[in-house]
Chain A
Amino acid sequence: MRCAGFDKLSPNGDGAQLRYLANQVMFFASESTMKNRSFVWIGGGTLLLSALLAVGAAQIKGNAGYAGAGPGFLPWTVSAAMAVLGVCLVVGATRSHVEWVSAPEFPPRWRAVAWIGAGLVLNALLIEHLGFICSCAVLFAFAARGFRVGADARPTVRMFVQDLFIGAAISAPVFWLFTKVLGVTLPALVKAGGWI
């Protein structure tokens, strides 16, 4: 088949021939793998995780004893299961012609995730220095900005400042309820059981 194709195409010259072949390859590639390309990556990730689990399992010391199954048994089992699942994902995703999961209605808005993520990381950074209330106010303002970005709203600086106050107004009663009434330990700005 391939030879016949070459013969037929030869008058067009090498460039056109190569372009034609490239197009064919691209066409087949897009037909068979494009639809579930993400799942091929996920399958790869699963295989990687399986390998990491195996490395960890090899380091587990412990004797199976007469039970025949020691502390290393389940780690090896899970690692093997993940390897099988990873192969199934890669093979299945490459061979399937149907899209497994359809894309959401709207294209992703990573800027929203960046704002929310920034809020979460700042919260982790600040909570032990500024205390729960201030730190969560920052989280609230950043996250609210992110959700506004995600909802196509145009967040202004004024809204951000407003959100900081709303965040504090929500975090404060939550902080008092959980630390003073329910006895959960959360960090305060004023050390040792302060109110802020």
Chain B
Amino acid sequence: MDVWTSLLNGFATAGTPINLMWAFLGCLVGTAVGVLPGIGPALAVAMLLPLTAQVEPTASMIMFAGIYYGAMYGGSTTSILLNTPGETASMVTAMEGNLMAKNGRAGAALATAAIGSFFAGTIATVLLTLFAPWLAEVALRFGPPENFALMVLAFITVSAVLGASVLRGMCSLALGLAVGLIGIDEISGTARYTLGIPELVDRVEVTLMAVGLFAVGEALYYGLYEGRVVETQHKMTSLYMTRDDWKRSWPAWLRGTFLGFPFGTVPAGGTEIPTFLSYATEKKLSKHKEEFGTVGAIEGVAGPEAANNATAAGVLVPLLTLGIPTSTTAAVLLSAFQNYGITTGPQLFTSSSALVWALIASLYIGNVMLLVLNLPLVGLWVKLLKIPRHWLYAGILVFATVGVYGMRQSAFDLYLLFGIGLLGMLMRRFDFPTAPVIVGMILGPMAEAHFRNAMSIGEGKLSVFIERPLSLAVLALCVMVIVLPVVMRYRRRQGDGEIKPA
């Protein structure tokens, strides 16, 4: 079946009233989650994972995808209007967006962000449609050694490339892998680290870990340190974009899209790098350099925001074709697939083709819904920012209870939730990234299975990983990713150590 027939079938599935309702619900929740500080899409999807026991897979995946895209739209609203950016993804948008808002151009900044998100989101979804089935077909030929190598690459990029320190990222990853070890070993059926507690035999739930680290950890950190930070909110202004604004925005959107999408697709997840690159590009190419860092330049909002959304779509490529998550939200989405017993990986496009194409079609639909939800209705979303923080965070804890208790009906998990929350608080304080923990615990057991299967193929010899060209190439890339920054830093220090001390 060719791509267009499949896509049309997908639209037929996603276009039924009930599925449109799920998509709308997802977009609504996603935008709210993006706007509200303290919650992100990964957390929202994790909290809603108990639904996988009741709602049919297509419906819930459509909703989750809506949340994922919606949060990208909503995030920009907060980062432009508040002086504290909501999510890391919108950190760069906040730089110029805040300045524009300070100078009475909040409306134009919000408009270029929303339209740019739509533009980038749609183009990136087209690229996903064209690219993913092809990649899935290629990936069908991958064996366990290749899959293992790709997963190692994902581990390394998530923990070493993102974040402030390789060492701390690796610590987080090791913690995630250790948590992933708890429970029954998939291949041999041996119980590991269960300490005789029956709750631990069927693994630590992803919901528990994600909600503990993101919701409870964040809430405790807020109570401990951030309650006294004074927040200022900029005034909303008209959304009207002048002719000049349009002229300056669209090339930035385009560049942002083509910068962001590839970064999402390679297992080098995270939106920080592409958004920042887009910002740097726009600053370099702009004819209005004097506006950067002073009154706020519109291309400095348009580019990164487009890059941000294009990356989000790009992340779905390795998720759907290889079963490799490169961001926290993707990892939580993967565990949603697992809850349904759907095997992810290249066979997803053949075995669950109806589901995948409905999901992709719903991304197109969701983008349109989100544009409508976010452009004319932005005033409504801004009102969400008026909720007093003490009620907002207390409310988040109530929802955390729903997610964690709803998953397994165990009060034991609620005690664990507090413990994991304390851990999350400490990690936040000492700047240990949390994404590697989640990716490690979900991907760890899968990587282990691939490793052991590969070892079986190689009859117990590690050489199986370097005898196959693709797995060798990927593993070489892993080494490069770690070694290159160290070498570059060393050479820079050698070069102008005296002039510019670290």
Interface residues of A (CB under 8 A from B): 38-39, 42, 46, 49, 53, 56, 60-62, 64-71, 73-75, 78, 81-82, 85, 88-89, 92, 98, 100-101, 104-106, 108-110, 112-113, 115-117, 119-121, 123-125, 127-128, 132, 135-136, 139-141, 143-144, 146-153, 163, 166-167, 170-171, 174, 178, 182-187
Contact = CB atoms under 8 A, between A and B. Distances in A.
B226 interface: yes
A164 B224 CA distance: 22
Nearest to B191: A60
Given A73-B451, A78-B177, 5 more contacts: A100-B430, A144-B394, A146-B223, A150-B222, A166-B391
Contacts of B429: 101, 104
B144 to A, nearest CB: 11
Nearest to A38: B430
Interface residues of B, number: 68
Given A68-B455, A69-B452, A121-B415, A152 B227 contact: yes
B240 interface: no
Contact of B452 (A61, A67, A150, A152): A67
Contacts of A49: 175, 178
16 contacts: A49-B178, A53-B178, A56-B192, A66-B460, A68-B455, A69-B451, A71-B187, A73-B452, A74-B448, A109-B225, A124-B414, A128-B411, A135-B401, A140-B394, A140-B395, A167-B394
Nearest to B60: A182
Nearest to B178: A78
Nearest to B182: A56
B459 interface: yes
B456 interface: yes
B181 A89 contact: no
A96 to B, nearest CB: 11
Given A104-B225, A109-B223, A67 B397 contact: no
Given A108-B224, A120-B397, A127-B401, A69 B418 contact: no
A6 B485 CA distance: 47
Contact of A105 (B223, B225, B411): B225
Interface in B156-186: 164-165, 167, 170-171, 174-175, 177-178, 181, 185
Interface stretch (B11-19, B259-267, B402-410): B402-410
A167 B398 contact: yes
Contact of B460 (A67, A124, A167): A67
B455 to A, nearest CB: 4
B220 interface: yes
Contacts of B500: none
A49 B391 CA distance: 36
B192 A184 contact: no
A109 B224 contact: yes
Contacts of A147: 219, 222-223, 227, 389-390, 393-394
Contact of B409 (A82, A150, A185): A185
Contacts of A61: 190
B29 to A, nearest CB: 12
A123 B389 contact: no
B402 to A, nearest CB: 6
Given A117-B418, A123-B414, A183 B181 contact: no
A104 to B, nearest CB: 4
A168 to B, nearest CB: 10
B237 to A, nearest CB: 29
Interface-central residue, A42, A141, A184, by most chain B CB under 10 Å: A184
B393 A71 contact: no
B181 A78 contact: yes
A49 to B, nearest CB: 7
A79 to B, nearest CB: 8
A178 B406 contact: yes
B414 A174 contact: no
Contacts of B225: 104-106, 108-109, 150
Contact of B188 (A71, A132, A166): A71
A98 B164 CA distance: 14
B364 interface: no
A170 B401 CA distance: 13
B127 interface: no
